[in-house]
Structure 1
C-alpha cells in the first residue's frame, strides 16, 4: 500500500510551486483564484498558512483546538518570496509528518474531531492541489497533479465519494470545482478523516478504502499485526468495504475497524458493521481476532466500545450479530457485551442489543 507521508507532501508542494512560478511576474492581488472569492495572492498565502498550521497541530499534539499561532509575510514580499514561504512551510510540514508516531492523533474539526499523521498529510496535500488549481485557473496557466496524489486524497479523505474514471477530475467534482458525467454538481462538501473509538486497552481504528483494498489483496493495510494476522475474516470484511466504496454507498463510520493494542501499537483483529443501519435503525456487527489475541477479553472490550458508540447515535436503535452454533468463545463475547439471544437456526444463533 502506498502510504501518505512527507515524501508525498514534498511532491505536492514541488509540483505546485513549479506551476505557479511560471506566472510570478503577474499581479496576483488583482486576479481572483478561480471560483473562490479570494485573490490568487491570498489563496497561495492560505496554502502556506494551512501547511504550518497542520505541522503545528501534529507537533503540538493539539487535542481541543488549533494551536493559537499564525504566520505573516514581511512587507514587500513579492510572488517569488511567497512561493519560497510555501516551500518552507511545506518542508516543515513534511518533516513533522515524518517524525510523528503512527498512533498520534491531533485535533481537527471534520468530522470526528481528530486526525492521524496520514490524515493531516492528506489534508495538506489536498489544500496544495486544490488551491493550486484555483490559482492556475485564475491566472490561465496549466496545472494537473499526479494521478497518484489525487487518488490518495480521495481514498484518504473522501471515502464517501464513489471513484470516477480518473482521480483528478473526480476530486475536482467532489470539491465543487468541476463536472463529472452522470453526477449532479456538488455545492457543499466536507472531507472525512477516519473515526477512532477508544477502549480501555484498545483503539478501534477506522479503515480507509486504500487500507481496505490492501488488506483484501493480502497486505497489512498499513498496520503492524501480531503473528498470524490479519485473520481471514478481517480480509473478507475489507473486501466488503472496498465493494461499498466502489459502489458509492460506503459510510465510513459504519465500515470496519482494526483493533490496535495500546501497549504496543500492534493490530490484533477486526470489527465493524456489515452496512449502514436500515430504516428501523438496525445494524449488524461482525468481528474476529488473530488467534494469539484470543481468550484475553479483547473482543468483549471492543464490542462494548463499538456498541456504546453506535447506540448513542439517533440512527441506531438495535445491534444484531449472528454466531456459529459451535463457536462457544464468540457466544461468550456477545453475551458479556450485553447481547441477548433472539433466534436460532441450524448453523447460527442470532443475538441483539437494543438501545436502553
Structure 2
C-alpha cells in the first residue's frame, strides 16, 4: 500500500474532463445539475474550487480553519475553459498530495476536524466523481467512473457504508444520497468520515481505515512506516477484524483500531483498539499490541490511558475491560498503570461460566 492518492486524483479528473469536453457546447447555465440546486456551470466551477481548496489546506498546513481564499473564472471563460481549470486544479492537488509528508494533517471539519494527505485525496476524488455525475445527469449523458476509484474512496472516507463488492459506484451513489441499493433505505443526509487521531505526549493514535486494515490483513504495511519487526501478528489479526466489520457494514471508526505512531520519527510501533461497539450496558473491550522492538518504553501504557480517557468521556460508555493471559506479566503491568483494576474472583467466575471466558484469562476493568 504505497499510493498517496495522487494517481487517483489524476484518474478522477481525467474521467471528468473526458466527459465534460464532449458536452462543452451544451448550455450549462440553464440546466440544473441532477438533484442539486446548482446549475451545471456552477457545479463544474465548484469541482475546481474544491480541488484547489484541498490543495491549499495541505500546502498551507492549515490546522484550525479553512485557508481564506477562493478562485474565480475569468470573465468570458467558456465551458471548455472551466474544464481546463478543473484539470489544472486537479494537477495541483495531485502534486500537493504526493509531496506532503504522511504525518501532516490539516483542517477539515468532518468529522474529527482534520485529514491527512490520503483523506484530502479521497475527498477530492469523491467531489470530482459525484459532481461529474450530477452534471451528466442534468445534461442527460451516461457516466460511470472506474470501479477501482469508487472502491478506493469508499474504503477511506466511507468506513460506515457496507460496500457492494460488484457495485462500488452504486454504493458510492447510495452513500451520498444519489441512488438506491436493494435492501437499503435511501439516505437523505450523509457525511464522509476521515480517520480519528488521538494525540499523546510521544505518540499519535491514528485510526485505521478499512483500506489500510485490508492491506495489513493481507501482509502489507497499511500505509504506515513500521519499526523493524513490525507490525506484530496481533496487529494483523485486529486489522482483519476491522476489514471484516467493514465488509459486513457494522464498522464504526471510533470503535475500531488505531496504529501507534511515534512523534519523533513518524514510525509505527504497534496498535490498540476495541473488539467492537459498546454493549447495551456501555461496556467495551480493549486490546493492544506492540512490535517487540518497541516494548519496555511505556508506549502501550501511554496509548491505553489516552484511549481509555477518550472513550470514557462519552455518555454511552460506562466501563472498559480487557482479558489478559494470567502468565503475561508485562501486559498486566501495562493495564494496571493505565488505571485498570483486576476483576474480583466472583466476576471472573461468572465470565468463565456465562460468557465462555477462557480459564487462562484474567479480567481487568476501568470505569467512567
TM value normalised by structure 2: 0.95
State the match for 2:364 in structure 1: 351
State the match for 1:187 in structure 2: 188
Contact 1:4 1:122 in 2 (8 A): no
Partner Cα distance (1:20, 1:141) in 2? 10
Partner Cα distance (2:198, 2:16) in 1? 36
Partner Cα distance (2:230, 2:205) in 1? 16
Q: Secondary structure at the match of 1:205?
A: strand
Cα-to-partner distance string for 1:167-218 (whole Å, 9 max, x where unaligned) = 0011011111111111111111100000000011111010011110111111
TM value normalised by structure 1: 0.98
State the match for 2:72 in structure 1: 72
- C-alpha displacement at 1:141, in angstroms? 1.2
Contact 2:324 2:332 in 1 (8 A): yes
- Work out whether 1:247 is the aligned partner of 2:248: yes
Partner Cα distance (2:27, 2:229) in 1? 60
State the match for 2:155 in structure 1: 155
Partner Cα distance (1:141, 1:22) in 2? 10
Contact 1:4 1:152 in 2 (8 A): no
State the match for 2:91 in structure 1: 91
- C-alpha displacement at 1:342, in angstroms? 0.8
Partner Cα distance (2:6, 2:239) in 1? 26
- Work out whether 1:323 is the aligned partner of 2:324: yes
1:46-125 pair list within 5 angstroms: 46-125=46-125
- Work out whether 1:221 is the aligned partner of 2:251: no
State the match for 2:238 in structure 1: 237
Contact 2:4 2:98 in 1 (8 A): no
Contact 1:47 1:131 in 2 (8 A): yes
Aligned-residue CA RMSD in angstroms? Answer: 1.0
State the match for 1:138 in structure 2: 138
Partner Cα distance (2:148, 2:163) in 1? 13
Partner Cα distance (1:25, 1:175) in 2? 29
Q: Secondary structure at the match of 1:269?
A: strand
Partner Cα distance (1:61, 1:13) in 2? 24
State the match for 1:178 in structure 2: 179
- Work out whether 1:305 is the aligned partner of 2:301: no
Cα-to-partner distance string for 1:298-335 (whole Å, 9 max, x where unaligned) = 00000011111111111111111111000000000010
Q: Secondary structure at the match of 2:215?
A: helix
List runs of 5+ in structure 2 lacking aligned partners.
350-358
- C-alpha displacement at 1:8, in angstroms? 1.1
Contact 1:224 1:267 in 2 (8 A): yes
Partner Cα distance (2:185, 2:295) in 1? 48
Partner Cα distance (2:32, 2:366) in 1? 55
State the match for 1:264 in structure 2: 265
State the match for 2:39 in structure 1: 39
- C-alpha displacement at 1:2, in angstroms? 6.3
Partner Cα distance (1:2, 1:132) in 2? 27
